[in-house]
Structure 1
Amino acid sequence: MPSPLSSPPALRQRRVRGFSLVEVMLGILLGMFAVIAVLKVFSQSDTAQRIGNASGEAQVNAAMALDLLSRDIRQAGQSLNSLNLLGCTLSIGTTSQTFVVAPVVVNDTDRVPAGDAHTDTLLVMSGDYGGSPEGDAVSASGTGSVTVTTAGAFTAGDALVLGPISPTALTGTECTLNLQKVSNLSGNTASLSAVGSGTSSDSSAAYNLGAGFSIHAYAVRHGNLTMCDYLAHDCSTGTDDTSVWVPVASQIVSLRAEYGHATAGTDLDTRVLSGYDQSTPAGSSSATASYLYCQWAHVTALRMAVVGRGTTRQREVDGVPATAAAPAWDGDADAAIDLSGLSDWQDYRYRVMQAAIPLRNMLWLGASSC
């Protein structure tokens, strides 16, 4: 048998011939398909990662804001949960700074400047006195001083109001209170320094609100949850001043809230939550159940939703925006989330955190027909 080296030249040339043009083109085409598939996987992975990151940021932002609000609202009404005080008008500073004594007010347009479009505001009032909220009987009162029955119920620095010893706030105008502070105690006589500029319509009892009495307003401003302390600032102005309306949570684009109402006209110790809405108690003198203090006594919970936004703008995928519709929550029937006030709202990811928070200090009101 002849060796390969002795084969004819034409035969050896055929054996070392390379790929044909068709084979090369087919290989390139298959390689391109493989590269496209890999790039597609990477693109989908990158999109999923960006969506996940944006959604995670939105959820963290909303959760932080909800936690902050929840802690303040759980304290709402402490030291104020007496039928003798609920619904009264409280003066805390200038004549324009008067408030209805209530644990939390949704959209108090007379006192709290509106926030971003289609968002709610909250006004939260609470004290930190650990004793009875029913007040201490006053035996004598004068300018700058008051003689109480139980001196041990007060200490220097406590916030205090003089008020009625029985409920009188039928519509809210019958009972006016003036915020004062205990500056000194001598026996049963407390020296008082005025904080508010009003006068008390009835000085039958002294109510200790504690040294940590506070009135906080919350509103969404410029995409942040902001808080203003009414005992430190006139919150009706300076809405763009971050030293007055302090940002407490970033990337918050909506806050919605509703009162939880118990059935009216029942004993307070048998109240049952009957529904949620944004109807703020207004008071009427037509019947006991319509009196303002009774209406506030039947506000036993607050339901709210906070909408957080991711920080990264998202591009459309196959012509579909990042967010096609505003997120929903349980209170949509009365207070739907509306993001249309934001020009580029569809370019971001959102998460809603919501909670129904019992107003526990209202739940502790004693048995009374209301």
Structure 2
Amino acid sequence: MSAHPSPEPSIARRRPGNAGFSLVELMVSVVIGLLALVFATRLVVSGEQNKDAAVGGSDSMQNGMLALFSLSGDAADAGWGLNDTMLAGCDTAFSDNNGYQLAVGQRGGANITPLAPVVIQSNGGNSDVVSFQSGSSQTAVGSTRLVTNYVPGESTLTVDSRNPYDFNVGDVLVVAPITPGARRCTLFQLSGFGIGVNGNQLQVASGVDFPFNPQVGLTTAYPLNVSYIYNLGTAARLHFHTWSVQNGILRLRATDMPGSAGQGASVIDNVVSLKAQYGFDNRALADYDPNTPGNSAAQASTASGMRIGVWSSTMIDADNDGVVGGTGDYQRIGSVRLAVVARSKTAEKPDSSGQCRATTVQPTVFAGAAPATVAAAPVQVNVAVPGDTVDWKCYRYRVFETIVPIRNAQWRP
């Protein structure tokens, strides 16, 4: 009896190691892979967010420092050529065919346009508008006197000397009364010279080369012997600058920067606020050096130096003459305190509740007493940018502050 051969073993039995993955094993592998991908993605996103925060902080630091450096440079030069008591604080008529306008101040509740080292248009918690003014003449406060009455509309002004020293065609001149506040000052350009029977004549003509002369002649009458003409230097270097912040951008209007006189030029982005305060010397007249010639209630002593006694965002009656914003008050400005608030370039995302918490309280500037004997006048700043769809709390902010002495206010003739 023959035996039947046994059947061949199946492939699965012969190769038990090649049976493959079960469905459960495959699903577990997919889940593990997805989890690893999620963790890797979160790690990359977190790294990018940290980098953006670091770069944004660096940007705000750079922007804030650059903005403050630019403002400080203007403040350090402010008042050059304007520090004579006939000019400082004088309400001035000025017109520019290129569109620049003098800053508006207040005197006794009325609007004026003063010639002063610094004019602050305070806006409470919102960003201020700050103007710095100076000339460029090497003779600084070189002046000449009117020797005939000037009638409005005349094309010449007759002065007491022929060919006044360092007066050149195209220079910016200011005619002022010898008694501060007696009448408005007028800023214009010298268009030429002419010799008359009574002496040297300074000509006032309009034209493309004289943008500060919109018409022939001036609109204010000036009597002889009590009116003086000062030279501020060439028009191309007339340093009238107005700084402001619009929609998160620091902007500059300037007489010496073509194309920026009217609308202004963008300077630095992500700057959300500019704040400024006057530093007044408000000592009483009895505290001044009595041996200094010309001391009056409207003048600070140039011998003993100016001392800051009060900080204010607006004009005050610093000389105690009963008028807020008088010529003497502008002559009492010894320094200016500046603050710039810059924000990060990138907004941080809201938390799980949908609220941004990068910044919870709006910053406060000028909170410290400087110098230590002068009380601080802190201001809380509104850092929200008009029209920005992102909540201001989603950004981080840096505050930059400095104090700049108005040195030219002390160097009076």
Structure 2 counterpart of 1:54, from 53, 56, 59:
56
Within-5 A mapping of 1:190-209: 190-193=201-204, 195=213, 197-199=218-220, 201=222, 204-209=227-232
8 Å contact kept, 1:148–1:206: no
Contact kept? 2:120, 2:276, Cα under 8 Å:
yes
Counterpart of 2:158 in structure 1 is 146
Q: What is the match of residue 352 of structure 1?
A: 399
Give the 3 Å change call, closer, same or farther, for CA 261–146 of structure 1 in structure 2.
same
Q: 1:247 aligns with which of 266, 285, 299?
A: 266
**Contact 1:135-1:208 within 8 A present in 2 as well:** yes
Corresponding residue for residue 107 of structure 1: 121
1:269 counterpart SS class: coil
Q: Note the alpha carbon deviations across 1:324-350, whole angstroms, 9 max, x for none.
A: 222333258443212246562112222
Q: Identify the residue that residue 277 of structure 1 maps to in structure 2.
A: 312
SS at match of 2:127: coil
Q: Which moved more, 1:187-196 or 1:264-273?
A: 187-196
Give the superposition deviation at 1:36: 8.3
The one of 123, 145, 158 equivalent to 2:171 is 158
Name whichever of 305-314 and 273-282 sits farther off: 273-282
* Secondary structure of 2:365's aligned partner: coil
Q: Look up the equivalent residue of 1:146 and give its one-letter code.
A: T
Q: How far apart, CA to CA, are the structure 2 residues paired with 1:307 and 1:335?
A: 12
Consecutive unaligned residues of structure 1, counting only runs of 5 or more, are 1-26, 109-113, 234-240
Matches within 5 A, 1:268-307: 268-270=302-304, 271-281=306-316, 286=321, 292-307=326-341
Residue 67 of structure 1 corresponds to 69
Please tell me whether the aligned partners of residues 88 and 100 of structure 1 are also in contact (alpha carbons under 8 angstroms): yes
Structure 1 residues 269 and 40: alpha-carbon distance in aligned structure 2, compared to 1, 3 A threshold = farther
Indicate the residue corresponding to 1:315 in structure 2: 349
1:92 Cα deviation after fit: 0.9
* Alpha-carbon distance between aligned partners in 2 of 1:131 and 1:329, rounded to the nearest angstrom: 38
Equivalent residues of 2:316, 2:325 under 8 A apart: no
Shift of 1:282: 5.7
* In structure 2, distance between residues paired with 1:242 and 1:58: 27
Quote how far apart the aligned CAs of 1:136 are.
Answer: 2.9
Give the secondary-structure state (helix, strand or coil) at the position aligned to 1:259: strand
Kept after mapping to 1: 8 A contact 2:128/2:244: yes
Aligned mates of 1:77, 1:175 — CA distance in 2: 21
Q: Contact 2:270/2:345 (CA < 8 Å) preserved in 1?
A: yes
Q: Measure how far apart 1:186 and its partner are.
A: 5.5
Q: Supply the distance in 2 between the matched residues of 1:37 and 1:54 (Cα, whole angstroms).
A: 25
Deviation at 1:204, TM superposition (A): 2.7
Does 181-190 or 209-218 show the bigger shift?
A: 181-190
Q: Does the CA contact (< 8 Å) of 1:120 and 1:257 recur in 2?
A: yes
Root-mean-square deviation (CA, aligned residues, Å) is: 4.2
- After superposition, the C-alpha distances for 1:257-299 in whole angstroms (9 at most, x for unaligned) are 1111123333243221223211314688847x98923221221
Aligned length: 335
Q: CA deviation at 1:35?
A: 8.5
> What amino acid sits opposite 1:106 in the alignment?
I
Counterpart of 2:185 in structure 1 is 177
Give, in angstroms, the shift of residue 190 of structure 1. Answer: 4.4
1:315 maps to a residue whose letter is K
Look up the SS of the partner of 2:128 in the other structure: coil
Residue 355 of structure 1, CA deviation:
1.4
Query: Is the Cα–Cα contact under 8 Å of residues 176 and 200 in structure 1 kept in the other structure?
Result: no
Is 1:257 the equivalent of 2:276?
A: yes
Q: Distance in 2 between the 1:232 and 1:199 partners?
A: 29
Give the aligned partner of residue 21 of structure 2: none
Which residue does 2:379 correspond to in 1? 335
Q: How far, CA to CA, are the matches of 1:135 and 1:242 in structure 2?
A: 27
Offset, 1:83: 0.9
Residue 184 of structure 1 deviates from its aligned partner by: 2.2
- SS of the equivalent of 1:55 reads helix
Q: 2: distance between equivalents of 1:117 and 1:261?
A: 21
* Superposition pairs of residues 204-243 of structure 1, within 5 angstroms: 204-211=227-234, 212-229=237-254
- Note the residue ranges of structure 2 that are not aligned, 5 or more in a row: 1-28, 103-111, 206-212, 289-300, 369-376
* Matches of 1:226 and 1:210, distance apart in 2: 25
Task: Give the TM-score, by structure 2 length.
Answer: 0.66
Q: Distance in 1 between matches of 2:341 and 2:378?
A: 17
Higher helix proportion (structure 1 or 2):
1
Residue 23 of structure 1 aligns with which residue?
none
> 127, 133, 140: which is aligned to 2:141?
133
Deviations 1:43-73 (A, max 9, x none): 5543322211111111222222222222222
Distance 1:243 1:179 in 2: 18
TM-score using structure 1 length: 0.73
